[in-house]
Chains A and B, each alone.
Chain A
């Protein structure tokens, strides 16, 4: 198939940026979206032009690196899917595809479609961990955990930190990401000792990082490639209020 691509080009973080239009030909419907970009980049290199910078790593939908806002939706039109797992059969011959980077002041553009998501790392560093002594692994059955809690915790832990929730939120809020980390640990006995400080510190860090607040539009849940539920945000709120009223 032949496609028209309108891609955001930006030399660096201080450049204003603009859209450039490209034509790509003979794209197979079996290609992934990123492979189609590889073809475009080879074409640009042959023409002596600067290839388009975009984030990618595993190309298996588990690393959270790919981050394209495609035709008005993070990660493209498919539900519960990452950009790398989006395939060209989602499009038809003659389509025009507009590709933008994640737009959020907390995620400044580094180049073209690559954004700086270190703010997420700093939020995790503020409390998204448990402090345990190292040593031999504890027997898996030594600490009983209710099945539904283990399942909920696991579902929250599936968050890959791609930032689609921030990209889709009208407030650029990182609450879905942060609530997944808080829920993942708050539901397990290992996370219990630090649960109050964890949520207070992570919320404080999120506010410092220039993310907005959650207004429960639920756009984040709709675009999350790992189907993280907004009920995690409710849990985070409950955890925060409990900590705010009871912590010293």
Chain B
């Protein structure tokens, strides 16, 4: 057994997918929590302060590198698995499988993951690139410090109904992706006890719904003027 086998064996690849997936789930919790500051209705002061903290804390900036590495590994390994698995049945069935149990989203993780990736590209272009690369965001006074007005950027981006619809669709794709991925990751780590699975499965479903509904409500509430 070599370390490389963890990346090349079928079970090892799934382990990497599960590990990076759970890390990304942890990130989503932090991301949703911080973004929820927009609902403080204080003209974005709390949100911009939180964004300033995230952008100017060394530990978090280092974690950001880890986050991008995790996303990249998850995407590459996921695509490799999808393409490899597709090649395992060259001659397809004339009558599609009717097993009566597997969920459509469990069978469509590659498609859902690709939709989430497309959404992610759009999302990064909207917020991360102007904040970290081009530095084109307006400045805002946060107490004694001067930070970027990401809140104003959000208000601006979410004035377009098309963008709001694309964000909501991205959140729906993410929701179904998580519904399968959450419990699948734990099973990949070896969780098999019915006591744990009976908790993990509903927790995974509700977590997916709540976290994605929270994200989806952000563009909707901005577009409809529920925050100011």
Residues of A within 8 A of B (CB): 6, 17, 19, 69, 71-73, 98, 100, 103-106, 168, 170-173, 175, 200, 203-204, 206-207, 210-219, 221-223, 230-244, 247-248
Contact = CB atoms under 8 A, between A and B. Distances in A.
7 contacts: A19-B94, A69-B95, A98-B95, A170-B89, A212-B10, A213-B14, A234-B188
Contact of B102 (A218, A237, A247): A218
A127 B37 CA distance: 55
A244 B189 CA distance: 12
Interface string B91-111: 111111111111100110100
Contact of B191 (A171, A210, A234, A244): A234
B5 A244 contact: yes
Interface residues of B, number: 44
Q: Which of A172, A206, A213, A247 counts the most chain B CB atoms within 10 A? A: A213
Contacts of A218: 101-102, 106
The 9 closest A-B pairs by CB, nearest first: A238-B190, A222-B101, A234-B192, A213-B10, A171-B85, A72-B95, A172-B88, A217-B102, A219-B99
B197 A217 contact: no
Contacts, number: 143
Contacts of B11: 203, 213-214, 236-237, 240-241
Contacts of B10: 173, 175, 203, 206-207, 211-214
A235 B192 contact: yes
A100 B94 contact: yes
Contacts of A232: 192
Contact of B84 (A213, A223, A234): A213
Q: Which of B87, B89, B188, B190 counts the most chain A CB atoms within 10 A? A: B89
A192 B178 CA distance: 36
B107 A170 contact: yes
B9 interface: yes
A17 B88 CA distance: 18
